[in-house]
Amino acid sequence: MLVSRAVATAALVLLVGCSAPPPPPKKEVPAKPATGLSGVFKAYQMARASWAQDAMPLKAHSINLESVKSENGKAGVWSVTFYSESRQKSRTYTWSAIEGEGFHKDVFAQQEEGFTPSRQARPFRIEALKSDTDKAWEVAVKKVEELVKKSPNLPAFFVLETSDRFPDPYWRVVWGESISSSNFSVFVNTTNGEFLMKGN
């Protein structure tokens, strides 16, 4: 009698267990774009840890993706190039919000290359990067508001660079597919977020 009750209880437990609904599938968190400083700092940490401790930022630019919309100074991919004086080399790293469209998710290093600093392309201290691309976007849009209204679907991207025109590095907000084909761009200081100039 006890044995039959035990068997019946076990069968009931098994039946309840089998009839329980499966756990709901985990919701995938959609990939989100990042600001320029976020992409640069993540790449900088990787460059210092795995390549050269004296790595210094040289230049950077955003890349627009189809699956991760760029908006308000944020982009799905940031390409960042560093310079190492001890190695006399440069190396580019990409940070990507996704695995796809030709990019690896998170930070990925490319091959190092020879490089000689010049007045138009020189490394700078990471401390010079204080004002982010979301701020630069706000400043830039105000300066070219009418032009943006006339071409609301015109793509925009960011370039972090140096030149002999300004003492500090700057964000260059470019409207168009490339710098050479762009009709207008805005330069914003990276140290204080102030407007510098408009240009083509």
Q: When comparing pLDDT for 145 and 58, which is higher?
A: 58
Residue 19 in domain: no
- Residue 101 near residue 65 (C-beta atoms within 8 A): yes
Q: Is 197 a residue whose pLDDT tops 60?
A: yes
Report the pLDDT averaged over residues 74-80: 98
Q: Is residue 127 in a domain?
A: yes
pLDDT at site 9: 52
Given a cut of 80, whether residue 13 has pLDDT beyond it is no
**pLDDT given for residue 199 in this prediction:** 85
Predicted pLDDT of residue 20: 60
Within-domain flag for 168? yes
Position 57 scores a pLDDT of: 98
Residue 80 has pLDDT above 70, yes or no: yes
Residue 73 and residue 157: Cα distance in Å, rounded? 8
Largest CA distance in the chain: 96
Q: Is residue 126 a part of any domain in this protein? A: yes
For residue 146, is pLDDT > 70? yes
DSSP-derived 3-state class of residue 159: strand
* Model pLDDT, residue 5: 58
Q: Per DSSP, which regions of 69-183 are E strands?
A: 74-75, 77-84, 89-96, 106-114, 156-161, 170-175
Residue 20 in any domain: the answer is no
pLDDT for res 150: 85
Residue 15 placed within a domain: no
For 178, the domain range is: 34-199
Comparing 41-55, 59-73, 138-152, 161-175, which segment has the lowest mean pLDDT?
138-152
Residue 88 pLDDT class (50, 70, 90 cuts): very high
Q: Give CA–CA dist 128/142, Å, rounded.
A: 24
Q: Which of the two residues, 62 and 29, has the higher pLDDT score?
A: 62
Angle 109-39-114 from CA coordinates, rounded to 5°: 40
- pLDDT bracket for residue 19 (50, 70, 90): low
Total of domains in the chain: 1
Residue 21 forms part of a structural domain = no
Give per-residue pLDDT as tens, 95-134: 999 999 999 999 999 999 999 988 788 999 999 999 999 9
Q: What pairing do the DSSP bridges indicate for beta strands 34-35 and 170-175?
A: unpaired
Q: Answer yes or no: is 16 within a domain.
A: no
